[in-house]
A and B are shown apart, each in its own frame.
Chain A
Amino acid sequence: MKIRVDTDLCQGHAVCAEEAPSVFAVDSVSHKVVVRVERPDESLRADVKRAVKFCPTRALRLEED
C-alpha cells in the first residue's frame, strides 16, 4: 500500500498523527502533514485506514500497489 497526500486540502488537524503516529506527523512550521513512511508495513494497515477515514479534510488516500 502507498499513501497519497493532497496538501492543498490538509489543514493540520493531526488526526492522522494520532491514529498512526509512526506513519504521520504534522510539520510545526507549515502545519501540514508529513508522511514519514510512504509505503508502511502491512501490520499498520488498520491504523492507516483509520487515519485516511477520519481525516477531517479527506486529504489522504490509500493506493494499492
Chain B
Amino acid sequence: MSAATETPGTSAPLPAAAPRRGRTPPVLSRGWPLLGHLQELRRRPIELFARARRECGEIAELNFAGNRVVLLSGEEAQEAFFRGSDEQLDQAAAYPFMSPIFGRGVLFDATPEQRKQGLRNQSLRDSFMRGHAEVIAAETRGMMEKLGDAGEIDLLDFFSELTIYTSSACLIGKEFRQELSPEYFRVFYELEKGTDAIAYVNPHLPLPAFRQRDRARRRLVGLLSGVFARRAAQPSGKRELFDVLLSLKLPDGSPRFTIDHVTGMFISMMFAGHHTTSGTAAWTLIELLRHPEFATRVVGELDSLYADGRDVSYQALREIPELEGAIKEALRLHPPLILLMRKVMFDFHYKDWTVPAGKLVAVSPAISNRLPECFPEPDRYDPDRYREGREEDAKLFAWIPFGAGRHRCVGAAFAMMQLKAIFSTLLREYEFELSQPADSYRNDHSKMVVQLAKPCRARYRRRAP
C-alpha cells in the first residue's frame, strides 16, 4: 500500500510556477443529448458502470443530465479516490436526491466541520456494542413472536420492519423506539423510493415518485409530532435525545429546533443504517438458501457456539467465522450502495489525467467487488474467501461494500454485530426455504437507494427441539 504522499490526487500542491494539467478523461459513448447517460443509469446502472470500465478503462467520464461524473475503477484508481481529502473531494454536493428527504439545515446543508462533529454519534462507540446486541436480540425475538410455527414472509417487509426498530432503539433511544409502529417502515420505504436519479435534472419535478416522497416526509413529521406531544408530559429523567433537542430555546424564547428539523435529524440518523442493513440481511438469507451446504455450516456453527448457554449479547461480539463469511459474501455480491460520489473542489490528478474542479468523481462498489484480479471467480458465491490465509476482504480499496478511507461507513462494525445478533437469534429457532425460483430474487435498481424487488418471499418453519 502506498503512503498518502505517494498517491496522485492527494499529494501536496506543486509550486505555483508549475501548474499541472493532465489529459482529459475519455468520455463514454452513447450519451443522449441533454440527458447523457441518465436513462441508462435509471434502468441498468451496474451494466452502465461495467460498460464504462470495459470501453474506457480505469477512468471514464459519464454524463448525468449535464453533471459530469468521472468514474474511477480498479484498485489503484479507487485508492486515489478514497485517499482524497475533504477539502478536495466534497461528499455533500454529490447527492442532490437526498436533500428533499433530509430537509433544510440537516446533514448535507451543514459545513464539513459541523458534519464531522454531528456524525460522531457516541452510540456507535465500541463500548456500547454489548448493550446494542442485547436490544437487537430482543427486537428479533419480538418479530419472531408474530411468526408462529410456520408460514411465509416477505423478506423486504420483514427485515425493513425489524431494522427500523433495532436502529431507532440503539441509535436514538429505547423509550423513543416504543412509540414506533409498522407504519414507520412503510413511510421509510416511500422515502427510499423517492431517490430517483432524475433528481440530477431537478429533485422537485412533478413526478409520482417525488410526490410520494414529499407526502411520506409530511406524514413522518405528523407521526413524530404526535410522539413528541405525548413525550412532553414525561418526567425529565426519562428524556432522550430528541426530547432534549426539542426543549432547547433560543435567547428570545423561541424553540431552537422545529419538529420539521428534528424529523430531518431522525431521517438522517436512520437512513444510513436502514435499507443497507435490511437488504444485507435479506441477501445473506437468500444466498444461504441458494447454497444449502453453507446454510448447514452456518446453522451448525451457531448451534455449537451457543451450546455453552451464553446469550447473544456476549456471542454476537465474538468471532462467528462461518456466519461472518456468509454476511461478507452477501455484501460483496449485493452491495447496498452501488455508486459513491464526491464533488471535485480543486483539480484532481490521477496518473496523467486531470479532473477539473466542478465535476464529480465516483467509485462503484458493485464493479469493484467483482474485479477478477482481486476476487478470483468473482461471480461465484464463496464465503470461504474470508477464511484465514485468503482474507479477500483485506483488500481495503477493492472489497468496498462499506466504502474505504476516512469516509468508510462509521456504522460498519455496528452493522456486522447487528447482523450476527439477528441471525444468531433467528436461525437457531427457525429454518427457511425459498418460496420462489432461486434465480427470481433480484434488486430493484430503478432508484438510487437499492431495494430488494418484490415479490421476495420465503417460507419458514419452527425447528424441531
Contacts and interface: CB of A to CB of B under 8 A. Distances in A.
Interface of A: 6-9, 11-15, 18, 31, 56-58
Contacts of A14: 125-127
A50 to B, nearest CB: 11
Interface in B118-144: 120, 124-127
Interface string B384-399: 0000000000101000
A56 B412 contact: yes
Given A8-B4, A12-B120, 11 more contacts: A6-B1, A7-B4, A9-B405, A9-B406, A9-B408, A11-B406, A11-B410, A14-B125, A18-B127, A57-B412, A58-B394
B110 interface: no
Contact of B83 (A8, A31, A58): A8
B408 A15 contact: no
A18 B394 contact: no
A60 B404 CA distance: 14
Most chain A CB atoms below 10 A, which of B124, B126, B410, B412 = B126
Contact of A11 (B1, B83, B127, B408): B408
B413 interface: yes
Given A8-B4, A14-B125, A31-B120, A57 B408 contact: yes
Interface in B177-235: none
A31 to B, nearest CB: 7
Nearest to B416: A56
Contact of A9 (B126, B127, B396): B396
Contacts of B396: 9, 58
Contacts of A9: 396, 404-406, 408
A14 B126 CA distance: 7
Interface of B: 1, 4, 82-83, 120, 124-127, 394, 396, 404-406, 408, 410, 412-413
27 contacts: A6-B1, A8-B4, A8-B82, A8-B83, A8-B405, A9-B396, A9-B405, A9-B406, A9-B408, A11-B406, A11-B408, A11-B410, A12-B120, A13-B125, A13-B126, A13-B413, A14-B125, A14-B126, A15-B126, A15-B413, A18-B127, A31-B120, A56-B413, A57-B408, A57-B412, A58-B394, A58-B396
Nearest to A11: B410
Contacts of B4: 7-8
B5 to A, nearest CB: 11
Contacts of A56: 412-413
Nearest to B117: A31
Nearest to B82: A8
Contacts of A12: 120
Nearest to A32: B406
Contacts of A18: 126-127
A63 B124 CA distance: 30
Nearest to A31: B120
A47 B248 CA distance: 44
Contacts of A7: 4
A18 B129 CA distance: 13
B289 to A, nearest CB: 29
Nearest to B410: A11
A12 B1 CA distance: 21
A14 to B, nearest CB: 6
Q: Top 4 A-B pairs ranked by shortest CB distance?
A: A56-B413, A15-B126, A8-B83, A8-B4
A13 B408 CA distance: 12
Nearest to B1: A6
Contacts of B126: 13-15, 18
Contacts of B127: 14, 18
Contacts of A11: 406, 408, 410
Contacts of A8: 4, 82-83, 405-406
A49 to B, nearest CB: 13
B11 to A, nearest CB: 13
Nearest to B414: A56
A13 B127 CA distance: 10
Contacts of A58: 394, 396
B145 to A, nearest CB: 33
A42 B125 CA distance: 29
A27 B83 CA distance: 21
Contacts of B410: 11
Contacts of A31: 120
A40 B405 CA distance: 26
Contacts of A13: 124-126, 413
A18 B130 CA distance: 14
B115 to A, nearest CB: 13
A44 B334 CA distance: 39
A23 B86 CA distance: 29
